[in-house]
């Protein structure tokens, strides 16, 4: 949960680097919250499609999605920086199927050791030659 909160606190920080763990823990918690809200909305709206509570929960889900949009973009850009790629690579997602696969490969790669043009390695001074 600390990784999720850390990303939310750096919601407009598109500079620097983000570890794999930071990115994927944020993604996991974000996914779980979204699924819980969707399940709750489905249960309420499924029982009574004209329910005001179902409409309210749908609005909460939409607001949550808008609320985490910028932090999600920021952590993705920082993750790309950690692999020594420009944040503009995020636009590759607009290419159907292939773009998603390429982005996934970029996001699961290990950090570039040492310092790169985007800053210090967030893992610290890890000597990857002995690993």
Q: What is the CA radius of gyration of the chain?
A: 18
Give the pLDDT score at 131.
Answer: 45
* Per-residue pLDDT in tens (0 to 9) along the chain, 131 residues: 888 999 999 888 899 999 999 999 999 999 999 999 999 888 887 777 677 887 888 899 999 999 999 999 999 999 999 999 999 999 999 999 999 999 999 999 998 888 888 888 888 765 554 44
* Terminal-to-terminal C-alpha distance of the chain: 28
Domain annotation covers residue 125:
no
**Strand residue runs (E) in the chain:** none
Give the pLDDT score at 61.
Answer: 92
Domains: count for the chain:
1
Give the pLDDT score at 124.
Answer: 75
Between helix 69-82 and helix 2-9 the angle, nearest 10°, is: 100
* Local structure of residue 112 (DSSP, 8 states): P
Give the pLDDT score at 33.
Answer: 96
Domain annotation covers residue 130:
no
Domain annotation covers residue 9:
yes
Give the pLDDT score at 129.
Answer: 46
Q: Which domain holds residue 91?
A: 2-116
Output the six-digit token pair for 23: 């990115």
In this structure, what are the phi and psi dihedrals at residue 116, rounded to the nearest 5 degrees? -125, -170
């Amino acid at each position: 949960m600390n990784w999720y909160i850390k990303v939310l606190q750096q919601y407009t920080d598109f500079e620097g680097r983000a570890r794999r763990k930071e990115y994927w823990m944020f993604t996991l918690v974000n996914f779980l919250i979204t699924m819980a809200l969707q399940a709750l909305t489905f249960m309420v709206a499924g029982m009574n499609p004209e329910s005001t509570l179902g409409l309210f929960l749908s609005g909460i889900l939409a607001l949550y999605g808008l609320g985490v949009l910028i932090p999600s973009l920021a952590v993705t850009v920082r993750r790309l920086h950690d692999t020594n790629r420009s944040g503009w690579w995020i636009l590759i997602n607009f290419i159907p199927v292939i773009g998603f696969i390429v982005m996934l490969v970029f996001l699961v790669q290990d950090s570039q050791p040492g310092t790169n043009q985007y800053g210090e390695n967030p893992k610290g001074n890890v000597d990857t030659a002995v690993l």
